[in-house]
Structure 1
Amino acid sequence: MPATPQTGNKAERLKAFLILEARAAGFDVARIVAPDAIADHAPAGLDAYLKAGHHGTMAWMEDTRDRRSDPRVLWPETGSILMLGMNYGPDRNPMEVLARTDRAAISVYAQNRDYHDLIKGKLKGIAGRFAARSGADVKVFVDTAPVMEKPLAEKAGIGWQGKHSNLVSREFGSWLFLGSIFTSAVLPPDPPELDHCGSCRACLDICPTDAFPAPYRLDARRCISYLTIEHKGPIPHEFRRAMGNRIFGCDDCLAVCPWNKFASDAREAKLQARDDLKAPKLADLLDLDDAAFRVLFKGSPVKRIGRDRFIRNVLIACGNSADPSLAEKCSDHLHDPNPDVRGSAVWALSQLLGRDELLSLQARSKEETDDTVRDEWHRAFTQD
């Protein structure tokens, strides 16, 4: 059905009902934005991002360009959009684990249940109750759909896109899960938020891989979150040492933002981290076969990358650990069925062992036939 105009008082009442429902469902912030609010700048910014190739292998961003740049292309009946945010802020600075090189750093958002599942269920409940009250049509989206959530959240006044391109809130810093409810009802929009970054460039300067070619621009191909999650195949050599012990995502540019609050200064997050995922031992993670990986990460975003890509990342972290005691477990992966795992094991061992020990292991791996793994062995003996 087409967008449904509402009279002033009725529209205000429906908006108030919607906001109350969102709060009751556990969202920390909920605000209305018009569907044409990002039309002036978001499409141009997206086009420039895609033209520069900064999306890497995420071809779906280009495939969904038209729907992504205009909510009305995604759903022509859209009259208003409710943007919602849920705080997932940690109780301490997540960068503390980076100094514990025998441990793995998993991004804060992935230390509990997959937020897509958690939020989508709540959105469906809110949308259903609103539809029953208003008679309007509704649709819900959480991240996986072609919706430019961060620009829409900025125009709704939830926060602003910082120089790291993520949403920043004066109340919650960089720690907000976003979701949206599209409705055919036309509701009063909220005013947008202003940019409060000022001259600060902390998020740009801390990036281990220089993934920001300019403020407000991210080259995903250099981003550790992209490399550990989206990137298939071997991790490019130029980024391996910079990865440190980050095995799933990277929180550096988020955590360093001065708008963040931790511990007693932060409002209680809706998702508390699992203790076993706050700083797991690299040695324990190396033991995971596919079945054990699935059990450990059941319901977690980590599960989506699969065991092989995960172990690839863990082996890079082992190579950066400066802990030779991990070498024996790394060597067990020289015969892994997956060539990316075998190649990462070679690199890890080249960082942990001396030349003679490495030669002994290579002699036991003469049957290697994969060219990428053979190249890893060659590099192991020719690197500076």
Structure 2
Amino acid sequence: MPDASNTANTLNINPFQNISDVTAWIHEQALELGFGDCGFISVHNPIFAKQMQGLKAWLEKGYHGQMQFLENNHDKRANPALLVEGARSIISVRMDYLQVPPKPRSITDNDRPNHAIIARYARGRDYHKVMRTRLKQLAKRIEAMLPQWQHLQINADKPFVFRPFSDSAPIFERPLADSAGLGWTGKHTLLINRKAGSFFVLGELFLSLELPEGTPTTAHCGSCQACINICPTQAIVEPYRLNATACISYLTIELDGSIPEQYRRPIGNRIFGCDDCQLICPWNRYAKTATISDFEPRHGLDTATLIELWQWDEAQFLHATEGSPLRRTGYINFMRNIAIALGNAPAQTQYIEALKQKIGIHNDMLDEHIIWAINEQKAKLAP
């Protein structure tokens, strides 16, 4: 029997007969480049303007804290066509980052109170550059196919425009992915995929092709409240609404300065981000592991003890966090986070001695947290 593809080539038959052939091909290329999935949405989708209403109400409550960038560029958030001149569609992609599948509905991080817990996405290389690089590769593959798509009236006969993004522009990233069909928004405000859980990061490729939009996924959280109930700081104030100023990820990464005392004990030993609301989610029994090496832990950040990281000086911090998301905190805030974790750790006199060694070396803010941690340790050691 003759090979069908060879026959098509011999007869000069274009294999792209309709737009669905194009989107299927793009999806195949995305998977080949290491993405877990992709979906499509128009830059003119009404979801963006609708999201602005919710964002403004959220900002009015002050839930964004020091993240003042959320107050800016509302015109571009409401109309993403303003971000890239000539863009007509957005390809939304996800990239899985887990190294080890989580135990179902179990906060295993609590079993290691003397270790430094870093959010799983941040233990390897900074994903933003990886995401943008691979999105650019996807765009180049698409560009090479344009001659075969010119008969489909998807704007393939016009000059090709594209631009990749990854948490690097005023974009409603999660609602965009939701509407493109990559999952639904969970009660913890993260995207959940029925076949892949939520341990993934998102990226976008704006391009000038006119591609058909995906179909939004129906929500499947039901009556489950696990993420709301497990949150150590009760940052999920109601289903689908997060008070970021109480979220451990905000407190340990975005907040610059003193962490309010009311949150210090609940932070536990989480020194950069928090995975609790994802670990407890029943849908993460389907979570996928990473297919690229960039998310593999570096410098032992998945097994490091609190005392090990507390001994770092700034030069060690800068060396170990080169190309890492951990750079975002800066050295002083990183030490602040570890000081709190040492205060929350099981009572040990060595922790008190180690904490004392850094008093008076950096600034008053760090000293405040060190003294708090020493007092916490002393209280636990008191007869």
TM-score range, shorter chain: 0.7 to 0.9
Contact 1:84 1:178 in 2 (8 A): yes
Letter in 2 for 1:99: D
Q: Does 1:31 align with 2:55?
A: no
In structure 2, the CA distance between the partners of 1:39 and 1:305, relative to structure 1 (3 Å rule), is closer
Cα deviations by residue, 1:174-231 (Å, 9 ceiling, x for unpaired): 1111111011110112211111111111111111111112110011000000000000
Choose which of 335, 349, 352 in structure 2 pairs with 1:311: 335
In structure 2, the CA distance between the partners of 1:223 and 1:355, relative to structure 1 (3 Å rule), is closer
Choose which of 81, 84, 93 in structure 2 pairs with 1:72: 81
Name the counterpart of 1:110: 122
Query: What is the aligned-residue identity percentage?
Result: 37
After superposition, where does 1:316-331 map in structure 2 within 5 Å?
A: 316-324=340-348, 325-331=350-356
Name the counterpart of 1:81: 90
Contact 2:167 2:173 in 1 (8 A): yes
State the aligned residue count: 348
Choose which of 314, 319, 323 in structure 2 pairs with 1:299: 323
Q: Does 1:343 align with 2:355?
A: no
Letter in 2 for 1:54: Y
Cα deviations by residue, 1:111-160 (Å, 9 ceiling, x for unpaired): 11111011111111111232343342111100121111110111111001
Cα deviations by residue, 1:13-33 (Å, 9 ceiling, x for unpaired): 433332222121111101111
Greater Cα offset, 321-330 or 243-252:
321-330
The TM-score, its normalising length taken from structure 2, stands at 0.86
Please state how far the C-alpha of 1:266 moved relative to its aligned partner.
Answer: 4.0
Q: 2: CA distance between counterparts of 1:85 and 1:356?
A: 47
Cα deviations by residue, 1:32-60 (Å, 9 ceiling, x for unpaired): 11223314631211111112111111110
Q: 2: CA distance between counterparts of 1:73 and 1:227?
A: 32
Name the counterpart of 2:51: 42
Letter in 2 for 1:258: P
Letter in 1 for 2:353: E
Name the counterpart of 1:98: 110
Q: 2: CA distance between counterparts of 1:18 and 1:296?
A: 37
Q: CA RMSD in A?
A: 2.1
Q: 1: CA distance between counterparts of 2:87 and 2:380?
A: 64
SS at match of 2:136: helix
Name the counterpart of 1:58: 67
After superposition, where does 1:230-249 map in structure 2 within 5 Å?
A: 230-249=254-273
Greater Cα offset, 133-142 or 190-199:
133-142
Tell me which stretches of 4 or more aligned residues in structure 1 moved more than 6 Å. none
Name the counterpart of 2:169: 145
SS at match of 1:278: coil
Q: Does 1:193 align with 2:217?
A: yes
Contact 1:319 1:352 in 2 (8 A): yes
Q: Does 1:272 align with 2:296?
A: yes
Q: 2: CA distance between counterparts of 1:303 and 1:113?
A: 11
Q: 1: CA distance between counterparts of 2:320 and 2:222?
A: 42
Q: 2: CA distance between counterparts of 1:322 and 1:12?
A: 58
Q: Does 1:254 align with 2:278?
A: yes
Contact 1:312 1:344 in 2 (8 A): yes
Name the counterpart of 2:141: 129
Q: 2: CA distance between counterparts of 1:61 and 1:294?
A: 28
Name the counterpart of 1:367: none
Q: 1: CA distance between counterparts of 2:379 and 2:185?
A: 47
Q: Which runs of 5+ in 1 are unaligned?
A: 1-7, 358-384
The TM-score, its normalising length taken from structure 1, stands at 0.85
Greater Cα offset, 126-135 or 147-156:
126-135
Contact 2:197 2:288 in 1 (8 A): no
Name the counterpart of 2:25: 17
Contact 1:161 1:195 in 2 (8 A): yes
Please state how far the C-alpha of 1:242 moved relative to its aligned partner.
Answer: 0.4
Name the counterpart of 2:10: none
SS at match of 1:334: coil
Name the counterpart of 1:377: none
SS at match of 2:308: helix
Q: 1: CA distance between counterparts of 2:212 and 2:201?
A: 23
Q: Does 1:156 align with 2:168?
A: no
